[in-house]
Amino acid sequence: MFNLRKTTRARNSNALLHHVAIDQDLCNWCGACVSVCPPDSLFLYEEWLAIDHETCTRCERCVKMCPVHALHMAAGSPESTPS
């Protein structure tokens, strides 16, 4: 698993305001969110969903698409919400 968090904070100050958070316990890896993400910021690794916070534009399409509400917008930087 790669760690995007350091580059996220360094390159994208908007990440300090809000970000997409993943509840890995709710996610059933259906892939619906991956298919609607314009910049391809979501990645499925078998039974784990990852997000590239650096390329995510926070459009919230994935949040609205998820059938089990495993995604939500969280305040602060990605470091504040494990995913």
| Under rule CB under 6 A, residue 17 binds ligand SF4 | no
Question: What span, in angstroms and rounded, lies between the C-alpha atoms of 69 and 49?
Answer: 14
Per CB under 6 A, which of residues 35..64 are in contact with ligand SF4? 36-39, 41-42, 49, 51, 56-62
C-beta separation of 53 from 44 below 8 A: no
Half-sphere CA count of 61, side-chain side, radius 13 A: 15
Choice from 8, 12, 15, 20 touching ligand SF4 (CB under 6 A): 20
Choice from 4, 9, 16, 32 touching ligand SF4 (CB under 6 A): 32
C-beta separation of 33 from 75 below 8 A: no
Judged by the rule CB under 6 A, the positions of this chain that interact with ligand SF4 are 20, 27-33, 36-39, 41-42, 49, 51, 56-62, 65-66, 68, 70-71
